[in-house]
Structure formats: structure tokens, C-alpha cells
Chains A and B, each alone.
Chain A
């Protein structure tokens, strides 16, 4: 019987290797065996397209991170903006979380603009009926906050006038946490990591939490609109229960739940580009980017009522 050409024998072996079928026969063929070993190693050859695409994704995110760091020392890309009618939230945060006000001044609408540091995170608070550029509603928002002792912080929150939403308990997701609503209705999920399962290592002290309807579709929207990157996800019963998204060097958490939309300030290098990207993804304009005394700013609202403002302050070094 005439031996079949090496090209054909090799091709059958490659077919078997790629399809994860038994290709050990090839090892008994002295002409074929060394080529079969090379072919077996090639099965795990990384896709050049994948590597190039991941590299581009990392470069995009790194450039957002770099711009934010250059723009405002101490801030990350995403800063929650809480609107309240009256003063008092800063005192509450100071009493409960040892927060420190780093800036306060009268905003263009006449209300107070305050910037507050909680641990390693920044929160902006707008006080008064007329603040928020006239487009930001007064409404409560939710946060995940890591502390050294969740029980003690929970007690301080109650003493400072908060309403308990859930007593401190060990949670299956690797933290001990208790939940409160502050006197303005904002939710604070006060947590201390318990072990390896905790997400604390990937988060800063304060992370905004978005409760939304249709969380899975909303994650896809945030990827398109803001270049968000899904870092962690947990689905249960066909619903997205939890996701952690990275936007630049900031993060948000979200999950299916009774909606609590919020407002966020994103420090970025090119507010116009991100504004256009968000519109193209389906967001609605709140204010096209314009130059203000403090920098360039524009904003959009998404279909779930969350507001995203894109800003590049005048102090930016490009």
C-alpha cells in the first residue's frame, strides 16, 4: 500500500488536535511526530486580534486615568454628585465616616458646592434648591463604603440620625455589612471585608451603587456610552444581580433593584468626545459642552434617569 503524503497525514493530525480528538497515533509516525508536537503547542496560540484589541482597550482606559490624575489631584474619573436641599450632609459624613471638607464655595446657581473626602474617595455635594445647573434633581443615591469596623460605623450612623435598613451581618459575598439611610435619604452600605471573597481590594473607600431595572442591558449601554469595562459580574435566576464596572480609574457597582438614579461628574480629557459618544449610544443631552469659568462641561441623561457630566477644568495640564 502506498503511504499517504505527509501533507495529508499532517492535516488530519491538525484537525484532530484543533477538535481535541485523540491525535496520539501521530506520535508513532517518526516523520509526523515532531510536527504534531509543534501543532499541539499551537492550539493555544493567542489571537493577534485579541491581543491588539486588549492593548487598545488598556490604552484608552489608561489615557482617561492619566488625564484625571493630571486634572484634579485626589479625584478619580467618576465622582458622585449628591444634591440636597439643606445643609447637614457634610456634618453627617464627618460624624460617621470621619469625612473632611476640602472645598466649599457658592455655585453659579446660588447654592453651595462642597467637595468632601471620605477615606481615599471624593464626593461632591450641592446644597440648595437652585443648584446643579438647574438640571440636577434633588434625589437620594446609594453608596458602598468600606470601613474598619462596620458595626461601630453603623452605630455612629444611627446616632447621627440615620435610619437602619439592615442590621450588620456577615454576608455571603465576603463582607460584614449594615445598611442605613442618612437623614437625606441616601443609602450607605457600610462594609468591612471578611476575606478573599470580598470585592474591597478592587474598590476605594466609597463606590456609587446604581439600582436599576434591566441591569444587564444597562451594563451594555454603559460600555458603549462611557467605555465602561465590566470587571465582575454575578447573574442569578436569569438576572444580573451584581456587576462592578470600571470607568477610567473610577468604579461603580450596579444591580437589579428599585431604581435610585444618581448624578456623576466624570473628569476627562475630551468632554466633547465623550458627550458625543454617550449621545450616539442613546443618551439624551442635558447640556452640550460649553466653556464655563471653571472649565468645559457638558452632560447627558440616560434612559434610566442617571446623569453623566463630562468636565475638563481650566486647571488641566494637557
Chain B
């Protein structure tokens, strides 16, 4: 039994004994499910809605879930795939929408690389992390970020550059 499989088994057993422990499954897989869903949705709000649905449904079904040794991620990807199909079906009335395939090994590798990047963002110095969040999550302009942080636009551009250079190095890039 691999470490992942053993971890999955323990997470499932804990959540079935005490639903409050479901948060362990959430913490382990939220980034992966979000990354899978985000690539297949038109915007951040839709990706957040669908990711919420996936974990709500998984929590609702955890008591009935029969673990047969397959990775928990595969179960969550299947729920996500059906939720995505529902989402697109809603937007394309009368059209036949087939649920997207769960990620292949190439996409899984890509998702894991991005999750590693996001973890590095969380390790950045606070000001740099705030700049990344405001620019990429909140989609603020440099001027808006400068106002929010009470810095000059030039200073924010410097922080942005330093953050991205630091992330590049953390991800194995070279100077």
C-alpha cells in the first residue's frame, strides 16, 4: 500500500467516524480540485462555485462512501467532472454535454507543479504575497495596489518583480 493510499484510507475513516474531520480531506485536495475546475470554467466565480459544490457533495456522501482502495482524488475528480457537466449544460440548453475526463497523468503533473507554485506564494514576504494576491486574484491594477498598500506605483512594480523572481527560483529556475 503506497503512502498516499494509506493517507487516503485514514482520512476517509476519520471523516466517516466524525464528519468534523472531513476538513482533512478538504485541506489535502482543495487546490487540486480547484485547479482542475478552474481550467474548465469561464471565470474565477464559476470555479469557486463548482469547487464548493464538489466538497459539499463529498461531505454529504462521506457516510455512504465505500472506500475500495482507489485514490480519494479520483472520487473528487469524478464529482467535479459531473458538476462541470451540469454547469455547462445549464449554459447550453438542449445541447448534449459530456462530463470532461478526469485529468490524465500529464495534466496531474501540471496541476501538481502549479500547486507547488501556490505553496511558494504563501512563503513569500508578506508585502510581496499581498501584491501577488491583489494582482492575480483580485485583478487590481498597479495603481489600485499602490493605493491599497500606500506605496508608490514604482515600489509596487519592484515588489511584483521581486516576488516573481523569487517564485521562479523556488520553482527551479536559474538566475
Contacts and interface: CB of A to CB of B under 8 A. Distances in A.
Interface in A66-98: 66, 69
Interface string B9-24: 0000000001111110
A45 B116 CA distance: 11
A63 B20 CA distance: 6
Contacts of B57: 202, 231
Given A62-B23, A249-B63, A42 B117 contact: yes
B154 interface: yes
A43 interface: yes
Contact of B157 (A7, A47, A55, A246): A7
Interface in B30-52: 30-31, 34-35, 38-39, 44, 48, 51-52
Interface residues of B, number: 54
Interface string A215-249: 00000000000000101101000000000001001
Interface in A46-64: 46-48, 50-51, 54-55, 57-59, 61-63
A18 B161 contact: no
B56 A58 contact: yes
Nearest to A56: B23
Question: Main SS of chain A's interface residues?
Answer: helix
Contacts of B52: 54, 57
B158 interface: yes
B107 interface: no
B61 A202 contact: yes
Interface string A20-46: 000000000000001100110111111
A231 B157 contact: no
A311 interface: no
Interface string B125-159: 00000001101111101100000000000100110
A15 B23 CA distance: 35
A74 to B, nearest CB: 12
A112 B77 CA distance: 48
Question: Main SS of chain B's interface residues?
Answer: helix
Contacts of A6: 161
Interface in A145-203: 196, 201-202
Nearest to B114: A41
A202 B79 CA distance: 11
B60 A202 contact: yes
Contacts of A43: 136
Given A54-B51, A249-B60, A18 B132 contact: no
A297 B82 CA distance: 39
Contact of A10 (B34, B118, B161): B161
Contact of A66 (B19, B38, B118): B19
Contacts of B137: 45-48
Contacts of A69: 19
A291 interface: no
A192 to B, nearest CB: 19
A258 interface: no
Contact of B168 (A11, A15, A38): A38
18 contacts: A7-B154, A10-B160, A38-B168, A42-B132, A42-B136, A42-B167, A45-B117, A45-B121, A46-B34, A50-B48, A51-B34, A54-B48, A54-B55, A55-B30, A62-B19, A62-B23, A202-B57, A231-B60
Interface of B: 18-23, 26-27, 30-31, 34-35, 38-39, 44, 48, 51-53, 55-57, 59-61, 63, 82, 86, 90, 113-114, 117-118, 121, 132-133, 135-139, 141-142, 154, 157-158, 160-161, 164-165, 167-168, 171, 173
Given A44-B35, A54-B51, 10 more contacts: A10-B160, A18-B139, A35-B161, A46-B38, A47-B137, A55-B26, A58-B56, A62-B59, A66-B18, A249-B19
Interface of A: 6-8, 10-11, 14-15, 18, 34-35, 38-39, 41-48, 50-51, 54-55, 57-59, 61-63, 65-66, 69, 196, 201-202, 229, 231-232, 234, 246, 249, 251
